A = this chain, B = another copy of it.
Amino acid sequence: MYKATVTIKLKKGVLNPEGMTIKRALNFLGYDNVKEVQTYKMIDIIIDEEDEEKVKEKVEEMCKKLLANPVIHDYEIEIKKL
């Protein structure tokens, strides 16, 4: 059994409306020294598989097929044996 942690970030230069909205709200609340806010998503996937290479291969496929949009996202995969 493995746990794969996928980090999905917007590519450099792609606007982060959520981050900008949070920054504006924090500045509005008086946190004027907040200069930048970036948000990104983490996905933990528990996979019933014994071969680490196979896990890595499958999670790469999952990212390409479903989890990440190759046009705007970069992703990283971290794998841990449970």
Point out residues on A near B: beta carbons under 8 Å: 1, 7, 19, 22, 25-26, 29, 31, 33-49, 58, 62, 65-67
Contacts and interface: CB of A to CB of B under 8 A. Distances in A.
A46 B37 contact: yes
A58 B1 CA distance: 39
Contact of A48 (B19, B33, B37, B44): B33
A47 B31 CA distance: 9
Contact of A44 (B25, B26, B37, B43): B37
Given A31-B58, A42-B42, A67 B22 contact: yes
A76 to B, nearest CB: 12
A65 B30 CA distance: 12
